[in-house]
Each structure stands twice: as C-alpha cells, then as structure tokens.
Amino acid sequence: MSNSTTVQSVDRAIAILEILARDGATRITDVAAELDVHKSTAFRLLVSLEQGGLVEQSGDRGRYRLGFGLIRLAGAVTGELDLSRESKPVCLRLAEEIGETVNVAVPRNGETVNITQVRGPSAISGHNWVGHRPPSHATSSGKVLLAFGALRPPADLERYTPRTAASPSDLGLDQIRERGWAFAVEELEVGLNAVAAPIRGSDGSVVAAVSASGPSYRLTPERLPQVGELLVEGANEISRRIGYYG
C-alpha cells in the first residue's frame, strides 16, 4: 500500500469517527454515501475500526456506533490533563521554596515527556521543557520512571557528558527506590543538576515524576538531599490530589 493510500485511509477512518459522533448509530450505506466511496470500502474501514475497539455494531442490524475503545483513549488524555492541572499549585509552591525550575514528566511511548513547567524566582534560563523528550537515563525524572517500572531501561545508553551513565548498572535504580528520589549531576548538560521524586496514581503505581533543575553552582550536590525531601513531600501531595491514598 502506497503512502498516499495509507494517508487516505486514515483520513477516511477519522471522517467515519466524526460521522458517528455527529449522527450516532449509522448504516454502512450512509457512511459510504457521505464519504463518496463504495460500500465495500466503508465496510472494510469500519471493520478495522471495530477490531481496534473504536467502533461497534449497535443493536440495529447493519448500523455502527462509537466504541468503548475511545473512552480508554480519552481517559488517558484526561488523566494527563488532570495531572497537569492538579500538580500546578504544588509545582508553584515548590518552585518558590527551592528557587529553581520545577517540571512534571510522564512516561509516554517508552520515553520521558515533560507536561508541566514552573520557573522559580532564581531561574536564569528561559528554556521551556514542556513537550520535550529528554533521554530518560540522563535525567532525574527519567531515572525515577525507570527505577519504579514506569519505563524500561534502554539497551544502549548514549553519552551526553562525561558523567552520563554508561550502562544500566550505573543508573543506581535500586538506590533510587530505597532513597525515594533520584538525582542527575551534570549528566544531560555540563553545569545542570536536577532532582526528582515519584508521583503515584490511584492504584499506587508510579505515573509521573516531579523534578527541580538548576545550575550546578546553585543546585549543588550538598543541596540535593534537602531538595529531594521537598520534592518527595510535593510528589506525595500531587499523588493524593490525583487519587492515591496509600
């Protein structure tokens, strides 16, 4: 199948979902007519969507409606939006207390993705990390997600500075679990240090990490334990706000 044909099929599948969202249970012939395609083409697309749980056959023979698979997908987005919203006031307080930039990161498709950022009063960099996918093994948030099983360690660890971990055994994941927080000292960038703590979802699993990062001359190795404890407290508060009561 050519790329243009694949894109056309995707466009048509999206159009079908929009039709069903607008009209409710709809017959194949009506879908085909609106898409201006043969009935067999509409049927093939509906079957593919049905296999993915995105549509289902209604009680009326020959009619399709939106499936519960969409609720699962929407729930994932809603959960992330809830996390971003509920973590914001805690991040604002942490940024003020620590004086550095505070981020919340989540695991997505095997990577660490930042979804929230608050700059502290001492922050000198205007860099916005939201939406970025930093290497998990070289960041404090990524190490938290790796240590608590939200992500799997990569087979090959790319070196970004002389301090970047060279192998999974160098990540100290057991120590992170015992300590309850992780740090990265000039592992992603020379002169940049960071600390992070785990955020738990309603089932107790680690779903995100909250971190503080700043220049190494200010966020010194000596400060890391103090900042780590502040982040653990903040992470626990965020966890409670999104439904964890352990």
- The token duo for 183 is 């740090």
Residue-level pLDDT at 77: 56
- DSSP-based three-state secondary structure for 207: strand
Architecture of the domain made up of 79-241: 2-Layer Sandwich (3.30)
- What average pLDDT does this structure show over 196-212? 95
Q: Strand 182-185 and strand 192-200: pairing?
A: antiparallel
- The token duo for 47 is 């079957």
Confirm if 131 and 116 have CB atoms less than 8 A apart.
Answer: no
Task: State pLDDT tens for residues 122-169.
Answer: 765 556 667 778 899 999 999 999 999 999 988 789 999 999 999 988
Q: What distance lies between CA 44 and its chain's CA centroid?
A: 33
Task: State pLDDT tens for residues 22-80.
Answer: 888 899 999 999 999 999 999 999 999 988 888 988 776 778 988 877 766 665 555 56
Residue-level pLDDT at 202: 83
Q: What class has domain 3-67?
A: mainly alpha
CA dihedral of residues 223, 228, 231, 233 (deg, nearest 10): -120
Residue-level pLDDT at 81: 58
Burial class (CB in 10 A: 0-12, 13-18, 19+), 239: buried
Q: Looking at the DSSP assignment, which residues form a beta bridge with residue 213?
A: 101, 194
Q: What is the DSSP letter of 53?
A: T
Same fold, 3-67 and 79-241: no
- What confidence category does residue 21 fall into, taking pLDDT thresholds of 50, 70 and 90? confident
Domain ranges for the chain, please list them: 3-67, 79-241
Confirm if 154 and 136 have CB atoms less than 8 A apart.
Answer: yes
- DSSP-based three-state secondary structure for 237: helix
Task: Report how far residue 73's alpha carbon sits from residue 43's, in angstroms, rounded to the nearest whole number.
Answer: 23
Task: State pLDDT tens for residues 212-239.
Answer: 999 999 999 999 999 999 999 999 999 9
